[in-house]
Amino acid sequence: MRVLASRRLPGPAWDELDDVELLEAPLAEPRPDVEALVVVAQVVDDRLLDLLPSLRIVANYGVGYDGVDVEACARRGVAVANTPGVLDAATADLAFGLLLAAQRRIVEGDRYVRDGRWGTDWAEAVLLAEEVSGGTLGVVGLGRIGSAVARRARAFDMRVLYTRRSPDPESMALDDLLAEADVVSLHVPLTEETHGLIDARRLALMRDGACLVNTARGAIVDEEALVRELVSGRLRAGLDVFAHEPSVPRELLDLPNVVLTPHIGSGTRATREAMTRVLVDNVLAMREGREPPNRVYP
């Protein structure tokens, strides 16, 4: 099975694919020999699928596959698979790290020391932060990653509120959660329903001094509205994802009340290698005529 990929993925599992071609430039000519396409944050649409008439599987490196036109793939009988489960802990760790960094003003403190502004009186009223222990965390989307974040929060004696799609008597209405939480952490996939889910009206529901953490997808939030709230200083944020990556709103770059990271939720060596293992298993299953274990539809 000829595999087309934009890059080599980390870990020994990658070497189990014995007919891989690394694509150095966007595909422009038809490739009827290619049966598997490995994508990393890449758009897969009708135009690309037209160039790959023999394609059998799109193997997405990551959980989110919003760049893949799943309906177009389904119409052509092309399977789409992702790599769930193995990155839950790493992403939850980063989400909670952003929560701690934003609430306890850790990045500001680092700059304060490096700039030589640290005085001799440790009790001076600078860099006073918000308490994390005993606070209220609102988890928007209590799936695998959201649940992992909730477990970490409970270890900090935080009260946990949540929303989820499946029926659950303890799940809250989103507006109520936003109004009550000290920290809101987003863990929903990007879909037509969730695009712009956290809009200006909902951001306004958050209490003064509250913190928004986003390790899901940037477009879940109305980015312009969020920038306005952060520039005003009313909210704090820890952001790993943005609406137009790798572009980041310039207004955020010098703000002290926001912590920024470059979409590294799954960015540990062990996690990235485990993701490669899952992706390779999906491709090998298709090559051997078996159902990919992580097919995302139907």
| Catalytic residue chosen out of the listed positions 31, 105, 236, 263 | 263
User: Residue 77, by phi and psi: left (phi above 0), alpha (psi -120 to 50) or beta?
Assistant: left
- Is 166 buried (19+), middle (13-18) or exposed (0-12) by CB count in 10 A? exposed
Q: Would the CATH topology of 2-86+268-287 be identical to that of 88-260?
A: yes
Give yes or no for a contact between 41 and 68, defined as CB atoms under 8 angstroms apart: no
Catalytic residue among 31, 187, 217, 272: 217
Query: Quick one: pLDDT at residue 196?
Result: 98
Residues near 175 by beta carbon (within 8 Å), at least 6 away in sequence: 202, 205
Contact between 105 and 211 (Cβ < 8 Å): no
* DSSP H or E stretch at residue 2: strand 2-5
- Provide the residue type at 237 as one letter: A
pLDDT of residue 122: 67
245 part of the active site: yes
pLDDT on residue 28: 94
Cα dihedral 259, 262, 266, 267 sign: negative
Active site residue 217: yes
Every domain of the chain and the residues it spans: 2-86+268-287, 88-260
Percent of the chain beyond pLDDT 70? 99
Nearest CA-CA partner of 202 in 182, 176, 230: 176
The superfamily in CATH containing domain 2-86+268-287 is NAD(P)-binding Rossmann-like Domain (3.40.50.720)
CATH of domain 88-260: 3.40.50.720
Nearest to 265 by CA among 41, 45, 109, 54: 41
Question: Cα torsion at 99, 103, 104, 107 (round to 10°)?
Answer: 70
- Is 71 one of the catalytic residues? no
Q: Which residues of the chain have pLDDT under 70?
A: 121-124
